[in-house]
A and B are shown apart, each in its own frame.
Chain A
Amino acid sequence: MKIDRANPLWRFHGITPMAIFFFAYLYLPIIVLLVLSFNENRLATIWTGFSTKWYSVVLGNDDMLRSAKNSLIIALSSTIIATIAATLAAMGMARGRFRGEGGVAAMLTLPLLVPEIVTAIATLLFFIVIGVKLGLLSIIIAHTVFCIPFAYLPIRARLDGMDPALIEAANDLYANEWQAFKRITFPLLWPGILSGAMLSFIISLDDFVISYFVGGAGSTTLPIYIFGMIRIGITPEVNAISALMLIISIVFVSISFLIDRVRY
């Protein structure tokens, strides 16, 4: 992005130090974490030398790997289900006006605003009442629910940017509903769908509160595992795991962002 010097914002006194402070506040802790993950010392906060040994310790930790695998299973499953549901919802919502459209739209995105702890407790109670066994499945169900709005928004934005006459043109040129979807809607929509899926994936992978509440024995996810480790003390191992998760997150969010910029 190009900074426009003529932008009146830049003539505002103190904007530059404010911006520097803001970004430092945001990113300094993460940079510190990254640096310390290469600390050779057993005590995470005392720097004694550069080493990558904590990364090998992490990758050799079976408990850690098992929770990472759980996280991946959960993230993949809930992403797939949530993305399909969100695509259908977006297509239904974009199709036309109906009674209560505003209400449905609000309900679709409401999970973004409800405090996570409320959702977590409500979901836990609900699972207990209907007798769902707490474990991977219960987490997948809960994650699917809060992933839907994240997947829905970029897909809906894509659909809204699409000329509705394109589908009419496809129908006009002898394509039935399914052919029009396959040949026109889907190819134009896929960047939105993929972008939504990436966001869902990362939101699910990073989730702690809901996973913590609705999980059970054997369904420990990576964030929960890290939380468990931290109670014993902050070690360079925790830093290394966090750094790895950070990299995965950055990669996915960047891909999501780049894909969403695809224009014809």
Chain B
Amino acid sequence: MSEVVISARSVSKRFGSGTHAVHALDDVSVDIFQNEFFTMLGPSGCGKTTLLRLIGGFEQATAGEIALEGQVLNDLPPFKRPINTVFQSYALFPHLTVRQNITFGLEMQNISRPDAAKRADEMLELVRLSQFGDRQPSQLSGGQQQRIALARALAPAPKVLLLDEPLSALDLKLRKEMQIELKRLQTETGITFVFVTHDQEEALAMSDRIAVMKAGKILQIGTPRDIYETPTHRFVADFIGDSNFLQGDIKQNGSHAVLTLPGGQNVSLANVDTGTRLSQTATIGIRPERLMLHPAGTSDSALRGKIADVVYFGTDTTYHIAIDDQTALLARVQNRDGSTMAYAKGNDVDISLPAGAIRVLVD
């Protein structure tokens, strides 16, 4: 990665005061790099939009600093920040034409009319709406308005583009198209995108890096692959994709640690980083597609369970497996011709958990 563009240092934001105060952001630090598609992902109320609005200058931090290329932004109003925003409602100016919307930011920067007009044409071409320049925003469809909002925000060539759940108002098909479109625009313009969403699929599909947020804190920052395959928190593993959680006590058993489940079965944690959680109750997570099923009795070091339900999904089959009274597992097996043994409801089955797929999670 290249150099840092946006740097947030111990940023907190509190709304209200006294006992009614809401801590929207709690001591958040993050570096966002040049030319990166950075996503802030989390459920509503996790503080992702607040952080975006702090970067844009629409809110003032209660504590901490936000810097752009090393220069602290805290006291700069939005109109003095070389950062542009795509709003959730698009916020296109209804009394101006599409072209006037796009040139608005350029005019405010005192760019000459011919240059602004030329730039507007480039932007319209970039978002593939060249023939719509003279329309009013109300004459455009939702997807078109979305692209004009992008063109308007990109026209002044900002250092950073902020996107506040811009796809949430679009239907599924259009949303998928716009995901590809956004990624293309980001690559073509080379501008750093900071994207806010609550949709984990969207985040995985587009981002270079994702910050997963919960209750005003960033839990984990990493590439989509990091976040999916090596989640650090139970919340992260649960929020992104499906996950199995096994709760038990971690004990040292000879050369390696084991997790003892409530029903007495042990999961070997050989070659798994248990951190400081030895002799403690802990949760481990493993993705359903990483579990391996074997006919009962064919695998020594495996868990033994009973198939409680089988759901066929076409490309794969999902098995619900009961391990003991308090523990259940979900296993997803791809349906390849002849390569997989099919199990039926009620069968006993051995389940092995590859060490590389087990994560000891922070609750």
Chain A residues proximal to chain B, CB less than 8 Å: 163, 165-166, 168-176, 179, 183-184, 187-188, 264
Contact = CB atoms under 8 A, between A and B. Distances in A.
20 contacts: A163-B89, A163-B91, A166-B91, A168-B56, A168-B78, A168-B91, A170-B93, A171-B58, A172-B56, A172-B58, A172-B79, A172-B83, A173-B79, A173-B108, A174-B79, A174-B156, A175-B79, A188-B94, A264-B136, A264-B138
Given A169-B91, A171-B57, A188-B94, 12 more contacts: A168-B56, A172-B153, A173-B79, A173-B104, A174-B79, A174-B156, A175-B108, A176-B79, A179-B108, A183-B104, A184-B93, A188-B95
B102 to A, nearest CB: 10
A166 B89 CA distance: 9
A73 B278 CA distance: 88
A259 B84 CA distance: 34
Contacts of B80: 174
B363 to A, nearest CB: 37
A165 B94 contact: no
A174 B88 CA distance: 19
Contacts of A166: 91, 93
Nearest to B162: A172
Contacts of A184: 93
A170 B56 CA distance: 12
Nearest to B155: A173
* Nearest 8 interchain pairs by C-beta: A173-B105, A264-B94, A165-B91, A174-B108, A169-B91, A171-B78, A165-B87, A172-B85
A257 to B, nearest CB: 21
Nearest to B53: A168
A74 B268 CA distance: 91
B3 to A, nearest CB: 24
A187 B97 CA distance: 14
A183 B107 CA distance: 11
Nearest to B58: A168
Nearest to B83: A172
Interface residues of B, number: 27
Nearest to B108: A174
A171 B79 contact: yes
B95 A264 contact: yes
A264 B153 CA distance: 22
A146 B57 CA distance: 40
Nearest to B94: A264
- Which of A170, A172, A264 has the most B CB atoms < 10 Å from its CB? A172
Interface string B244-263: 00000000000000000000
Contact of B152 (A163, A173, A179): A173
A169 B77 contact: no
B128 to A, nearest CB: 22
B187 interface: no
Contacts of A171: 57-58, 77-79
A124 B83 CA distance: 57
